[in-house]
Structures are given as structure tokens and as C-alpha cells.
Amino acid sequence: MNQAMIELDEVSLGWRDRVALRDVSGRFVQGSLTAVVGPNGAGKSTLVKALMGQLSPLSGEIRFAPDAQNNVACLPQLGELDRSFPISVYDLVAMGAWRRTGWWKGFGISEHERVLQALDTVGLADFSRRIIGTLSGGQLQRALFARLMLHNASVLILDEPFAAVDRHTTEDLLELLLSWHNEGRTVIVVLHDLDCVRNLFPETLLLAGQVVGWGPTGQVLTTENLHLARHLCAGDYL
């Protein structure tokens, strides 16, 4: 059995007197490719914040394997990025290397080459000097994927990476995401496109304020489970 990179033990998440996600238990194993799905308000982004250490559990415990501790990288939702900040595409991508370079070590030739290679991989080789505010949504998402490449993390968490981007960009970035999985990285992706999940993601976590199903995608995305998730989020069974 593969090593658990992240393990959740009866984890409940929320703010003050509001519980957004309760009693979550399960594991993301090394090399797994997992889609996190559920209706609006299901707790998907709340879970991402907890996995990134931005939100402490109200109860329960989140445990990381030694290989995953301090080796997790996240791609946030596009709407969380301040596009008015005057930073170039090159500098945005280079920020992904800070764990290796720190703030004072300087940025050597090898890191410079990594940035250029990442930009080339996502199709932005000619955009390095552009200010991010001038990019389209798809171009900005490509730049964020390039930044994720610079992290070189063993666990990658992506929150709705294909929202508001065109089909061509989605296909290109999906191919890159699958290549990370093929390299043996643990990849966790919040998604809304259930057809994409069924076709490409071996594992699925279906949330609705709690775990409705977690396991092989075909066993989780059943008509019954999806019906239950919708009703739970509507408050019918709470």
C-alpha cells in the first residue's frame, strides 16, 4: 500500500460557530490523482485552506508524511490574485522558487533557466516581461501553472484551475497536470466538470459539508451520491 502523504482524522473545519466541513477522515496516498468535487458550499475551498495550513481544524487532526511536510504547493483560485499589482510574468513565476533561494540568497543562473523553461512549457516564452494585469484569464492561469512548476513540490493542490479559461488552455494545462501525476507526485484538484473527473481522475472526494464518498471515481460519482450531496448542501438532511 502506498504511503499516506496527507491523512485526515475526524477533521472538522469552519470559523467560530460555523462548521463548514465536519468529521472528514481519509488519506491522500503518494502518487494519487484525486478530484475534490461537490455542490457550491460543500466545503471544497475550506478543505484546501486547511491542507495549506491557512485554517486550523476545529477538531480532529491533519497529518503530513515527512516527504510532504513543508513540501506542498498550491494554485489558488484566479479570483484570489490581485492582478493590479505591477509584477511581471517572469517575477510571478520566479516566486515559486523562494523555498530554494530564500529572500537573500540571490537568484542564480540555474533558477533563471528554470523560469524560462517553465514559461516555455506553458506557452508563455514571449510573455516574461509582460505585467500580469495585461494577461487574459487563460494566460494568467498558464503563468500560475509555471509558478507551480518552480515549486517542484511532492504534493500539488489546485483550487478550480480551469474556471474561466478557454478550452484550449484547459486541454494544455490538463496535459501538464497529468504529467505531474505520471512523475509520481500527489495531485489534489478541486473541479466542477464531472465528465472531466470521470474521464481522467482515478480517485474522487465528494463533499457536501461532510464526506459523501471518497475512493475510486466510479464508485463515488454515482447517481445516488450526487443526489445526496445536492440535498445535503440544500439543508434537506442536516
Domain layout of the chain by residue ranges: 1-71+153-238, 82-152
What whole-number percentage of the chain has pLDDT above 70?
94
Backbone torsions φ then ψ of 4, nearest 5 degrees: -80, 115
Give the chain's mean pLDDT. Answer: 91
Return the CATH number of the domain spanning residue range 1-71+153-238. Answer: 3.40.50.300
pLDDT at 237: 44
Grade residue 236 by pLDDT with cuts at 50, 70 and 90.
Answer: low
- Range in 50-64, 91-105, 206-220 the model is least confident about: 91-105
Comparing CA positions, the residue from 154, 191, 190, 160 lying closest to residue 32 is 154
Comparing CA positions, the residue from 149, 225, 213 lying closest to residue 187 is 149
pLDDT at 62: 96
pTM comes to 0.92
